[in-house]
Structure 1
Amino acid sequence: MRLMTKVHRVRPSRRAVGSVKALLLIAALLLTFGAGADCLSCHEDHALHPADPHYGLAESCASCHGGDPTATSLPRAHSRLIGAPGELSNASRACAGCHTQEVIHVLSGLMHTGRGMVNVTRFTFGETPHPEGLGDLSFGARLGDSPADSLLRKRCASCHLGQPRHQIGTDDPIGSRGGGCLACHLSTEHGGGHPVLTRRVRDESCIGCHSRSGRIALSYAGLAEVDDDALHRPDTSRLGYLPDGRLVERIAADLHHTAGLACIDCHTKRDVMGPTSGFAHGSDAVDIQCQDCHANEQSRITVQDWPQDLEGLLDAIPYRVTDRTEFLVTERRGTPLWHIEVGPNEKLLHRKILGERVRIPPMSATHHPDDGHHDRLACSACHSGWAPQCYGCHMEYDPNQEQWDHARREFTPGAWIDERWGIRNEQPPLGIDGHGRIVPFIPGMIRSIDHSELAGPRFRRLFAPIAPHTTVRGLDCAACHRSSVALGLGRGQLRRGTAGWEFEPARPLLEDGMPDDAFVTLDGKAGETTRRHARGFEPEELLRILDAAIPE
């Protein structure tokens, strides 16, 4: 039986002040915009559902939608009407009245600006010297017409939040894009009538954008893209097509997914909607870390210390709370993990979507020795079962075709066509990220880009750090210390010869002298990375890893 006792009001003065403010705000809105009954006389089927958190404004439609509810003619009633308040082009006039900081953060945040995606794309095309900068997709205002920006316009910009929402009401979350606040907070649980907003954001709201690029939404659920060669296997029972036509295979899902955890069980409001304007890439903005749940040594807080920007979450705590109840906080931003119940002998995570409690296994000292040799290892280095990888890619621009321009929102001349091959879904190579941690990497691009403004096809060998979201219980020592793939050498024969370690690649060499699936080589060649200061292992590091004694 799920325990859903409401939070005891242990801070009556502060909570009471908040309640009074809320009542005063509603009263002000009602006085300003009128009762809204005239709106409902024509739009009765759009009355708010009781499950909507805005139900207290059920008779004040104009507080979000504008217009003039006191007007007696249609033109006046619809004057300055806001059809979709949650879209970012309207959010400053609508949502910001109550959610000021959230709107500010989202407008400057990575999900809207796409800053990391823009800068990495320009770097890949050789248009900038490093993968950081002032790139911005916001409403398409800052994209030019260079080859890189052309690709962003035609192939990439559909996912940022400034795009109008489309595919509302379909059963295809893969195709969902844009919509600003609605991209996450539009509920699919209640059909018909006024759309219902919710803070219980389901995974379906994430998958439309996060099933692309690093494909972490697919990987988390145990779905791996494969090429058409898979159709010729003797057993095709695990194959299927996504609604957008991509062929996928069902393989091992992340342990957290198997345990029923949704995306929002780990990702906090602060890493999704917090101030992220100072971060270059999405991974930098992530608040939650594995140790926050499994080995948290941070000082705990009580409701007396609760951050003011998260006070609205107090009523969501799904278990009994007193003024002595302690909460875990994240190491990076001190965010309270309000859905984790800390007991004397165990920690229980209350699933935000599915309900019920899940015991959090503590980190074992036996399997995570403090020996000084593995201090730089990120948890994902040993606990990622696989990652989606593509070891061949050719992108070509055809000026004689037309393609949808997501910035201008119209068809314009020129189209990008891509071809890819060498798809693998296996243990990824490791490398060192920009913070000095050993993490998984995947190919960002290997092969060539062809555009009429480039002096011939441009070859690039780029790898990107990734959190694969394919958690397993743990790999054995040999899976890294004796694996040519994990070390970044690629597939082949790794052996200790009379002169030391030798590697015979199984794949052909490309024009840079490296095997087509290699991140690094034993003689010091290395691919580039899509993050500043990130790199593959250097020869002396490779030898040190290979020479380490490991249990048989």
Structure 2
Amino acid sequence: MEKVLKSETKAKKWKNKSTFGTYAIAMFWLVLVSGIFLAVPFDVESPYLSVSTIAVSNPWASLIRNIHYWSSQFFLILTLIHLYDHFHYKKRIGLKKGVAFRLSIGVLILFLAMLTGFLLKGDADSEQARQILQTLAERVPLIGKALAFSLIGSSDSYQLIYVHHIATFTVFVGVIVVEHSKLIWPRYTDFIYSFLGVLAISYFLSAPLHDNLNPTVKGPWYFVGFQEILHWLSHPEWSVFMFLILVLLVYLVSTGKKKVSYFTKRGLLVFTAFYLLLTVIGLFFRGERWEWTYPGKINYSYSVLHNFKSPGIKFSPDFNSAEISNAAVIQGRKESCLACHTETTGFSASHSPEAIGCASCHGGNPFATAKTQAHRNMILIPGNLTTARQSCGTTQCHPEIVERVPTGLMSTLSGMISVDRFVFNEQDNPDQLTDVHQLGNSAADEHLRNLCVRCHLGNPKTEYGPVNESSRGGGCLACHLNYSTDAKNELPLSKTQIVKAHPTVNLQVSNDHCFGCHSRSGRISTNYEGWHETTLEKEQMPDSSNYRLIEDSRVFIKKQEDVHHKLGLECIDCHHSYELMGDGNLYKHQENQQDVACADCHIQGKPTTIKAENLDNESALIAALRFGSIAEKEFLVTKKHKHALVNTFVENDTAFFLKKNSGEKMVLKAPASVCVRNNAHSNLSCSSCHTSWAPTCIGCHNLYDSEEPGYNMIKNEEQKGSWVELVGDYMAKQPTLGLRKSAEGDEIIPVVPGMILTIDKTAYPGNENDPAIFHRLYAPSAPHTTSAKGRSCKSCHNNPLAIGFGEGTLNYMIERNEGRWKFEAFYENDKHDNLPADAWTGFLQNRTGNVSTRSDVFPFTVEQQKKILTAGSCLTCHAEDSEVMKASLENFEKLLQNRSKKCVLPVWK
């Protein structure tokens, strides 16, 4: 009796004292009451839509949700602190085994009650946590499937989770609380303080809700430590033992003897410390796909800190909530953006607000009800590579493509950088993998910054407006942005202006999108359209239709256009998405990444095809978006990288070609018989014969001037001091031919005098004593000036420019029944190497050392020159279309052996 009285006295004293436990009870009642009110607007059939609608259209319901969330978080924290406090200060708890067992199970049930509440959001975070929980439960031996179903129910329903959260687990936790504390109601002061504190927090900080766009997906804060454990386990089901050990430790602490209690308390302490460490790691050092991240790393704020940025409640929203009720459901959610931006037009079907909303591209907070909060961290111009993961690359859009793009040459500029460093004698060969984001402070890298590297996809678009001839970079928008007339008429935009005519983002990629970058260097865009750059100033341009002035004031003269351009083909008709946007692999040069070849469309024999059902997802989607149903179709496949050409198909043994933007259908033609039915030219590339002209220049001189006003193309800002490039005349000629050596054999390709130049580095800091550099390097070329008719025989075999000697007079002289070739160069010999200024190699001479901008491209050797000129000597008498010359294509050596006595072959000294 005395013991009972003492126990009752202690209980009364405890009831009158505020502890972590009493505050936890107060929080528990806040959870219960707010949960009852929250159940009214909550729809368990569409939880994500229900919660997002509450967030953007019902401030009072949002406040109740916030109270429910924050009170539950504090209930968990205070309960755990109370347990620690209770175990720490009691030498021996000494609970009855039944009570101790229920208390131990209660810790587990408490986490399940919290976790089921987290699952009821129905967002991406919740879906991942649900999948983890279901997978683990199913792996429990014997009872796994039944256990998973009893916890979660069917995969397409939240009903059982809802029941467990509001009834099963909550009631169990309530019973444990009452049994343990001997209290039903908290002290009124504890309840008031708890309510006021939670109310304040709930007003300023909303409960989190994933936008289902951010690729970083995590469970609740108390679950990420467990996720970290799962990440390291090769058999995740072993983690189930962790729960059993935790329950056992709590039980032993409650009932065990002194020695047992001593070790189990410390075991719990070690476990708690270890788990807290894992929680910190999971919260702050794990990003997308649970990869390591850290402060300062690109996208760290977006991938990690977005979980900690939450707006407060605004009881007077900046819009009419009725607008939200009438707005479309965007990927399972409501967006507050659509309450204000209701009259905007101009979207493509796949990028309309009804399809993807606003936040998918522009970020911000789609659940905020105040303009400032909604626009916080908003991406005004999406698609730049620095923010592409937050716009184009979000989970439900194009994450795979955004992963690939930075590996492509339009992003890395590997070849350009490697060749430039090679020419500046800063690396041994021109074929090293490089990246524009890793430029240093060398003379070559400064040269690149001043003159070369503005044309990369990572160069950000910073101003509104359409893609034009002066555009450089812009990430995804570099190709996919299109302005209608109405959209152009709205420019320039003010900071407060609501756009009425939104520019379109779609697959309509025109030649104008390519022009800004590809009208420089190799000038592919201008070549293709039949324009060759001159050295004329704007004021010197003749008033003639044969000349063209582009936006940066360069003057071009009319030349022969590419036959494909004449037929109306655009750049993207030939070049597919994996070639343009990268395929995930790093390439050293353009020709390595290039996939499409002439023979892929101009087929000889049976074509290689792939059926529609075997296409990769991206190719199938693009084909369907462009051309509608693709069922039962068979598409051509590239020989090099085995990618489908989704604008081609084979039907009844005929290959067809579709123009991507217009859909116009064309029949693909097989190559001419002369291209495929002779032995002599089997190693000629198509372009070596069908290129009508290529832009060339010689005599380039580079020097650094510390006083020259310059430009930093990486920082996009003016600077003092710059490299200056002085050039000679630009010329348009048939290209020189050279050899590309590979394991498959030698291939004859077109080359141009890309770098016959001198470089003076003495004025650049640190290079004062360096001698001037001279190079005579030719570069492999893809001029994009294809002609339907190939080169004549004489244009190769009797042409010094084609063989590599440079321009001049090449004559076959017969004296005293002996034939000799004589060459007189047009240009004087250069003092640096005693070769004509435009030559690649000497007449009947071999060249060694550095000869081209590639390690595998070479001029013809003396022996090869002799073979070429021997055929040329025949052409001095015999017509190209004569029977003799036709026969030479099959077996030239046999023909020479049976030649007439009148035929005089060249004599070589």
TM-score bin (small chain): 0.7 to 0.9
In the alignment, does 2:829 pair up with 1:509?
yes
Deviation at 1:391, TM superposition (A): 1.4
Aligned to 1:318: 627
Q: Structure 1 residues 33 and 179 mapped into 2: Cα distance closer, same or farther (>3 Å)? A: farther
Aligned to 1:154: 450
Deviation at 1:450, TM superposition (A): 1.7
Q: Structure 1 residues 103 and 496 mapped into 2: Cα distance closer, same or farther (>3 Å)? A: same
Contact 1:434 1:532 in 2 (8 A): no
Alignment of 1:160-175 (within 5 A): 160-165=456-461, 168-169=464-465, 173-175=468-470
Return the structure number with greater relative CO, CA threshold 8 A, min gap 6: 1
Q: Structure 1 residues 289 and 232 mapped into 2: Cα distance closer, same or farther (>3 Å)? A: same
Deviation at 1:355, TM superposition (A): 3.4
Deviation at 1:404, TM superposition (A): 1.8
Query: Which is strand-richer, 1 or 2?
Result: 1
Whole-Å Cα distance in 2 between the matches of residues 104 and 147 of structure 1?
32
Aligned to 2:419: 120
Whole-Å Cα distance in 1 between the matches of residues 684 and 652 of structure 2?
30
Equivalent position amino acid for 1:60 in 2: G
Identity %: 35
Give the 3-state SS of the residue equivalent to 1:158 in structure 2. Answer: coil
Deviation at 1:486, TM superposition (A): 0.9
Aligned to 2:268: none
In the alignment, does 2:533 pair up with 1:210?
no
Deviation at 1:229, TM superposition (A): 9.7
Alignment of 1:118-517 (within 5 A): 118-138=417-437, 142-165=438-461, 168-169=464-465, 173-189=468-484, 191-192=486-487, 193-228=501-536, 237-275=545-583, 277-295=585-603, 297-316=606-625, 318=627, 321-323=630-632, 325-344=633-652, 346-365=654-673, 367-435=674-742, 436-451=746-761, 452=763, 453=767, 455-473=770-788, 474-497=790-813, 498=818, 500-511=820-831, 512-517=833-838
Give the 3-state SS of the residue equivalent to 2:698 in structure 1. Answer: strand
Aligned to 2:21: none
Equivalent position amino acid for 2:465 in 1: G
Whole-Å Cα distance in 2 between the matches of residues 198 and 327 of structure 1?
23
Contact 1:444 1:462 in 2 (8 A): yes
Whole-Å Cα distance in 2 between the matches of residues 179 and 232 of structure 1?
33
Q: Structure 1 residues 513 and 100 mapped into 2: Cα distance closer, same or farther (>3 Å)? A: same
Deviation at 1:352, TM superposition (A): 1.3
Whole-Å Cα distance in 2 between the matches of residues 469 and 395 of structure 1?
28
Deviation at 1:114, TM superposition (A): 0.8
Deviation at 1:175, TM superposition (A): 0.4
Whole-Å Cα distance in 2 between the matches of residues 76 and 276 of structure 1?
37
Equivalent position amino acid for 2:337 in 1: C
Contact 2:613 2:631 in 1 (8 A): no
Aligned to 2:322: none
Deviation string for 1:16-38 (max 9, x for gaps)?
xxxxxxxxxx99566899522x3
Deviation at 1:535, TM superposition (A): 0.8
Moved more, 199-208 or 91-100: 91-100
TM-score by length of 1: 0.87
Aligned to 1:5: none
Give the 3-state SS of the residue equivalent to 2:637 in structure 1. Answer: coil
Q: Structure 1 residues 168 and 349 mapped into 2: Cα distance closer, same or farther (>3 Å)? A: farther
Q: Structure 1 residues 189 and 520 mapped into 2: Cα distance closer, same or farther (>3 Å)? A: farther
Whole-Å Cα distance in 1 between the matches of residues 415 and 739 of structure 2?
19
Deviation at 1:90, TM superposition (A): 0.1
In the alignment, does 2:399 pair up with 1:100?
yes
Contact 2:347 2:505 in 1 (8 A): no
Contact 1:490 1:519 in 2 (8 A): yes
Contact 1:35 1:59 in 2 (8 A): no
Deviation at 1:208, TM superposition (A): 0.6
Give the 3-state SS of the residue equivalent to 1:248 in structure 2. Answer: strand
Whole-Å Cα distance in 2 between the matches of residues 263 and 234 of structure 1?
29
Whole-Å Cα distance in 2 between the matches of residues 122 and 65 of structure 1?
39
Whole-Å Cα distance in 2 between the matches of residues 79 and 235 of structure 1?
53
Whole-Å Cα distance in 2 between the matches of residues 75 and 318 of structure 1?
42
Whole-Å Cα distance in 2 between the matches of residues 143 and 58 of structure 1?
41
Q: Structure 1 residues 505 and 43 mapped into 2: Cα distance closer, same or farther (>3 Å)? A: same
Whole-Å Cα distance in 1 between the matches of residues 366 and 627 of structure 2?
39
Equivalent position amino acid for 1:130 in 2: N
Deviation at 1:136, TM superposition (A): 1.0
Q: Structure 1 residues 242 and 57 mapped into 2: Cα distance closer, same or farther (>3 Å)? A: same
Whole-Å Cα distance in 2 between the matches of residues 272 and 547 of structure 1?
42
Aligned to 2:496: none
- Structure with bigger gyration radius: 2
Deviation string for 1:111-159 (max 9, x for gaps)?
1111111101100111111012232113xxx111111000111111111
Deviation at 1:299, TM superposition (A): 2.7
**Long gaps (5+) in structure 1:** 1-25
TM-score by length of 2: 0.54
Deviation at 1:173, TM superposition (A): 2.2
Deviation at 1:72, TM superposition (A): 3.3
Deviation at 1:274, TM superposition (A): 3.1
Contact 2:844 2:866 in 1 (8 A): no
Aligned length: 519
